[in-house]
Amino acid sequence: MCHTSAFDFFGGAPKRIVPDNLKSGIIKADLYDPKFNQGYEELAHHYGIIIDPARSGKPRDKARVERVIPYIRDSFWSGRDFTSLEEINKRAIEWCLKVAGVREHGTTHQQPLTLFRLAEEKQLKPLPAVPFEIATWHQAKVARDCHIQVNGTLYSVPYRYVGKTVDVKLGTRIVEVYLDYELVKTHLRGAKGQRVTDWNDYPPEKAASFSARLTGTDKEPASSAHQPGKL
């Protein structure tokens, strides 16, 4: 969200970003073959940018970026009270444009906003027409009841994958389940504590039994073997 908000503010995306090796972005730091968080890598593909992590143990790779933090703390945060995240974001944009952007920078001795518009803005890549959907990736094992648990919600998966460990892409609206990069199931995202079940994910004889009980056509006493979630 920080990246997408920044790109929206600047009106474009850079060709290359140099992040610190925070676990939410960089799973394994390596000079030649770093391993990225899958959601972070998707963001880079969406915007067409290169992720070039700061070298481990090389503080000079990011020192200039972190030096601005005391200025932000003292100029923006100090003495201010906010009631919501929305208010913080609104005030931060105003501060960037009316305070930080028009000050004389200690190194360049120019206004950052003026320098950005003259030299840097034209170097940015245009933003994609379709907004980036933020998603997180998880791993889950398909239980005997044909369900996986992700962030406190249960989702059904076709019975032939019972016992398999799958990758789950958790979006804001859609949940996608993959096995070996193949999409095997899609659900609308459920609320925490909810059980999201597609009866067609069960073996045919079990699905028919559940359907009969739901419609009232099966009058036999219910047993634990025919309860949803128990095969």
Q: Are residues 140 and 204 in the same domain?
A: yes
Global pTM reads 0.70
- Both 146 and 208 in one domain: the answer is yes
Distance CA 13, CA 85 (A): 24
Classify residue 131: in a domain, yes or no: no
Q: How far is CA 156 from the centre of its chain?
A: 22
- Going from the C-alpha of 145 to that of each of 76, 93, 140, 195, 229, the distances in angstroms are 53, 49, 13, 12, 5
Residue 155 structural domain: 136-226
Residue 175 — pLDDT band, cuts 50, 70, 90? very high
146 and 42 co-located in one domain: no
25 and 116 part of one domain: yes
Question: Does residue 93 lie in a domain region?
Answer: no
| 146 and 200 part of one domain | yes
- Cα gap 211→215, rounded to integer Å: 6
Residue 14 sits in the same domain as residue 119: yes
Confidence band, pLDDT 50/70/90 cuts, at residue 147:
very high
pLDDT tens figures, 17-64: 988 888 888 888 888 888 888 889 999 999 999 999 888 777 777 767
- pLDDT at position 45: 94
Structurally, the chain folds into a number of domains equal to 2
**184 and 209 fall within a common domain:** yes
Q: Which amino acid is at 143?
A: A
Task: Judge if 140 and 112 occupy the same domain.
Answer: no
Name residue 218's amino acid.
D
pLDDT at 218 over 60: no
What would the pLDDT profile of 71-81 be if each residue is shown by its tens digit? Answer: 999 999 998 99
CB atoms within 10 A of CB 215: 8
| 3 state SS for 125-146 | ECCCCCCCCCCEEEEEECCCCC
E strand residue ranges, 171-218 = 174-179, 182-188, 195-196
Residue 128 lies in a domain: no
CB atoms under 10 Å from CB of 108, counted, come to: 10
